[in-house]
Amino acid sequence: MSHYTLGRFCQELEQFLPRCEGHQDAILKTVIQGMQKLLSNPDLLDPDFVGALKAGHTDGRVYTSPEQGFFVQVFAWPPGVETPVHDHNTWGVMGILENQLAVTEYQLLPTDTEGQFQLKELDRFNAGPGAIVYVSMPDAEIHHIRNPTETYSFSVHIYGAELENTHVFDLESGQVRSA
Ligand SMILES: [Fe+2]
């Protein structure tokens, strides 16, 4: 159990990330260590903040780094809700705070046809409280996330940059489009 707050997490990353000098492995290691401490804080989220998240009154973003470009956002996942299959164009770390999320990870295979894609499923698993999942550039950044349960799930995410120039993959048509 810890009292490690989101504010402290962000503050420490402001100090530590410049020392990683853009090396993704070092960044992910540092971020994952911080995420582990966050997830062991049972009082991480203020109940009013949780209420606002569930009501859609906030997008959950708690911090944007002015210098380093990373941002931290808390997500509330209603029962059954899911993302499209998507990429991120940056590194990212997700920690499960409450309940469960079903994650499917993919690898992009080369194709000759523009706008078409082929994905290989790499892994499929349910992530519960305390689990940490990450995406990294360039080969491990495509996934699909769903709340497979009947109640809300909560997760905290950190991404290396704003999610720009990202893509959505339609598994049925095999077509890829800008998100
Ligand atoms: Fe994602």
Q: If you measure from the C-alpha of residue 94 to the centroid of ligand 1, how many angstroms do you get, rounded to a whole number?
A: 8
Q: If you measure from the C-alpha of residue 110 to the centroid of ligand 1, how many angstroms do you get, rounded to a whole number?
A: 21
CATH superfamily membership of 45-178: Jelly Rolls (2.60.120.10)
Q: Domain locations in the chain?
A: 45-178
114 pLDDT band (50/70/90 cuts)?
confident
Q: If you measure from the C-alpha of residue 134 to the centroid of ligand 1, how many angstroms do you get, rounded to a whole number?
A: 9
| Whole-structure pTM value | 0.95
Q: How high is the pLDDT of residue 139?
A: 86
Q: If you measure from the C-alpha of residue 13 to the centroid of ligand 1, how many angstroms do you get, rounded to a whole number?
A: 21
Q: How high is the pLDDT of residue 115?
A: 79
Q: How high is the pLDDT of residue 161?
A: 96
Whether omega for the bond prior to residue 47 falls within 30 degrees of 0, making it cis, is no
Q: What is the pLDDT of residues 51-65, one digit of tens each?
A: 999 999 999 999 999
Q: If you measure from the C-alpha of residue 140 to the centroid of ligand 1, how many angstroms do you get, rounded to a whole number?
A: 11
27 pLDDT band (50/70/90 cuts)?
very high
Mean pLDDT (the chain) is 95
Q: How high is the pLDDT of residue 31?
A: 97
Q: If you measure from the C-alpha of residue 87 to the centroid of ligand 1, how many angstroms do you get, rounded to a whole number?
A: 7
137 pLDDT band (50/70/90 cuts)?
very high
Distances (CA, A) of 87 to 39, 40, 78: 24, 28, 22
Q: If you measure from the C-alpha of residue 143 to the centroid of ligand 1, how many angstroms do you get, rounded to a whole number?
A: 6
